[in-house]
Amino acid sequence: MPPATLQAPAHITVLLRESVDALITDPAGTYVDGTFGRGGHTRLLLSRLDPQARVFGFDRDPQAIESARQLAAEDARFTPIHEPFSSMERELAARGLAQVTGVLLDLGVSSPQIDTPERGFSFRFDAPLDMRMDTTRGMTAADWLNTAAQEDIREIIHAYGEERFAARIAAAIAARRAVQPITRTGELAQIVAGAVKTREKGQDPATRTFQALRIFINRELEELEQVLMQAQRMIRPQGRLAVISFHSLEDRIVKQFLAPPRADASLRHLPVRGEVAGAARWADLARIKPGEAEVSANPRSRSAVLRVATRTEAAAPEAQ
């Protein structure tokens, strides 16, 4: 078997063995790690696979891709792809692949991104307000905050941050930028702290706003919806989908996606409602949370939820 070094990644990989164990159905198969990060899942996956297996790793982050290229130099079974996972179907088709054995997605932001001040993801550091997962393209959080309509800011913070003080925060942002542009994380955290008068114990006032902006700037929920539909078309019957999410918005999308199709309410008077709904495309396999030992060793894992499902024989809808 080609070597697959299990050196420690730059951050602690959440639900590492649980997700890889659940994903593998064929040791000689073809797998996709849609969120390479620093390669924790990919390295373990490669160590469990046969010499003829293949693994493709997607990531938007240039630093993550640099790490992925180093792994590719060590193990010829692995191919890194510097693209968002929503491009999975297109990128794999360009490499001659129409089906894969399994897809793993570890959603959200990685520890290296959070803990690198200049990336602008965290309110714990005063740094440029960037928040892009791919620093080579797209609009920064500062660019958007200084040009967006106040109502749009309110809507994004409320929808993606589930922030009940979104209107106050948006008004405070609009008032500050009228005086001078908001360019740093420290400024934004200060503005939010002044607008949010109460917060859950142990949670910084800026937590929900920073989450909302990160999700919006990187189109995280739209990307997730797109990749789930592509995985449904690409994963072969009896293959697996494993998704690790870290907040309720992500998990809700995954849960609803894996749920059996519902009958059309307008046809409820017909005698065979179940057949109208069509066959389920996923067989729910597991919902796994980190154990006490993992949460103790890595507090950032406490909100993680792993959902695993097996692809059935039911036909997937064609791409639009």
Residues in the chain: 320
**Residue 31 is inside which H or E element, if any?**
strand 30-33
Distance CA 21, CA 169 (A): 43
Distance CA 291, CA 305 (A): 11
Half-sphere exposure of residue 203: CA atoms within 13 angstroms, side-chain side: 15
Give the residues across from 307 on adjacent strands.
Answer: 243, 287
Distance CA 4, CA 193 (A): 46
Tally of CB atoms within 10 A around 167: 17
Q: Is 126 annotated in some ligand binding site?
A: no
Distance CA 23, CA 46 (A): 12
Q: Is 59 annotated in some ligand binding site?
A: yes
Question: Do strands 30-33 and 78-81 pair parallel, antiparallel, or not at all (unpaired)?
Answer: unpaired
Q: Is 257 annotated in some ligand binding site?
A: no
Of residues 117, 123, 57, 105, the one with CA closest to residue 221: 105
CA 210 to chain CA centroid, nearest Å: 16
Q: Is 115 annotated in some ligand binding site?
A: no
Q: Is 204 annotated in some ligand binding site?
A: no
Contact status, residue 60 vs residue 133, Cβ threshold 8 Å: yes
Of residues 206, 198, 195, 118, the one with CA closest to residue 150: 195
Q: Is 21 annotated in some ligand binding site?
A: no
Q: Is 85 annotated in some ligand binding site?
A: yes
Distance CA 209, CA 223 (A): 20
Distance CA 198, CA 182 (A): 23
> Helices then strands (H, E): number in the chain?
14, 7
Distance CA 253, CA 152 (A): 22
Annotated binding site for S-adenosyl-L-methionine: 39-41, 59, 85, 106, 113
Annotated binding site: 39-41, 59, 85, 106, 113
